[in-house]
Amino acid sequence: MPHISTGRPSLADYAPVFAALGDATRLTLLDRLGGGKSLSIARLGAGLGLTRQGVTRHLDVLERADLVASERVGRESHYAVKVEVLRPALDHLARASAQWDAAADRLRAFVED
């Protein structure tokens, strides 16, 4: 998702983020990066039952969505989560959730009256 410094991003700006998050393996990778440290592909993929190339493909999707950043550390690639990109998407979900909760409350009140 491109960084947008002014105003609220459009819904289309969130599509790549949510598309990237729509996979259990990618969610697991992000969860493993949630500790704030950058991790190697080997550490990220441990126990997932995927080849190194399989893990790399998932990390590439996350990187294209701008959710992770990679850097070379010696002969390895290390990845870190980009919280500054994830935060606006989480804020959007919170706003949407509040809107749906309000709509459900209005419907409940209408039905009960």
Residue pLDDT, tens place only, 6-34: 456 677 778 888 889 899 999 999 999 98
Straight-line distance from the first to the last Cα atom of the chain, in angstroms, rounded to the nearest whole number: 44
The answer to the question of residue 93 being in a domain is no
What is the predicted pLDDT for the residue at 35?
86
Q: Are 20 and 61 in contact (CB under 8 A)?
A: yes
Q: What pLDDT is recorded for position 8?
A: 64
Decide if 1 is inside a domain.
Answer: no
- Judge whether 16 lies within some domain: yes
For 44, the domain range is: 11-82
CATH code, domain with 69: 1.10.10.10
Count of residues for the chain? 113
In a domain, 106, yes or no: no
Grade residue 90 by pLDDT with cuts at 50, 70 and 90: confident
DSSP 70: E
pLDDT at 2: 47
E strand or H helix that includes residue 31 = helix 24-33
pLDDT tens-digit series, residues 39-66 = 999 999 999 999 999 999 999 999 999 9
- With respect to residue 60, please indicate whether it lies within any of the assigned structural domains: yes
- Does the residue 108 lie in any domain? no
Query: Is residue 51 in a domain?
Result: yes
Domain assignment present for residue 102? The answer is: no
Q: Give me the number of domains the chain comprises.
A: 1
